[in-house]
Amino acid sequence: MILPEEVLSVFVARLEQCGIDYMIVGSFASNLHGKPRTTHDADIVIEIDVPRLEKFARALGDDFYFDVDAARDAIKKNIMCNVLHYESGLKIDLIARKNRAFSHSEFQRRFLNDFLVRRCWFATAEDTLLAKLEWSKIGESERQFHDAVNIAKVQGEKLDVVYLRKWATDLQIDDLLNRLLQEIENGP
C-alpha cells in the first residue's frame, strides 16, 4: 500500500509541473514542526488561476479524483476544494491563498524542506502555529490547539514571539496565544 507521504510527494510534483506555487500547511506542517500525529488528509495552500487549474487537472491523470468544475467554482469563490487519491484514500484539500495580510506574509515566508525524495514548500513553524490557533478558534477544536502547543514545545526558543504576538492581534487570537504561552511556561 502506498503511504500518504508518498502520495503527497507525487501530488506536489504535479503542482510544480504545472507552475502552481504552493505551501504545505495543516497537519503535515504541524508534524514537521511539532510532535507527529496520524493524519488522514493533507492541506495545501495554492496560488492558481483557471488555465493552470485545467492543466493541473490533466496532469493528475487517473490516480486521483478531481472535479475540475467544482475546483473552478471554488477558485472563483476563494474557498477550498479537494482531491482524492484512489489507491490510498488520502484526501488533499486545496486552499486558495486568502487575500489578507497574514496570508500574504505566510506565503512569502514559506520555506523549502526535504520531504521524502524531494524538496517541498512548507509553512514556517510560527505561521503553522498561528493557523492552528485560528482553526482552534473557528472550530473550537482542542486538537488544533494541542497541535499548536506541541509546535511551541518542540520549537522552544527558536519561535519568533514578536511575530506571533503581532499576527495573533491581527487575527484576533491573542487569548489563545496567551493561553498557549502560559501553558508552555507552566510546563506539563
CB count within 10 Å of CB 75 equals 18
CB count within 10 Å of CB 142 equals 10
The pLDDT mean for the chain works out to: 92
Closest CA to 34 of 132, 105, 117, 141: 132
* End position of a domain, from candidates 79, 105, 123: 123
113 and 130, same domain (yes or no): no
At residue 188, the pLDDT reads: 60
109 and 147, same domain (yes or no): no
* End position of a domain, from candidates 72, 107, 123: 123
94 and 58, same domain (yes or no): yes
At residue 30, the pLDDT reads: 95
Phi/psi at 105 (nearest 5 deg)? -60, -45
Domains held by the chain: number: 2
18 and 87, same domain (yes or no): yes
Tell me the pLDDT band of 22, cut-offs 50, 70 and 90: very high
Q: List b or e across 89-126, with b for residues whose CB sees 16 or more CB atoms inside 10 angstroms.
A: ebebebbbbeeeebbebbbeebeeeebeeeebbbbbbb
Domain extent, residue 146, equals 126-186
144 and 68, same domain (yes or no): no
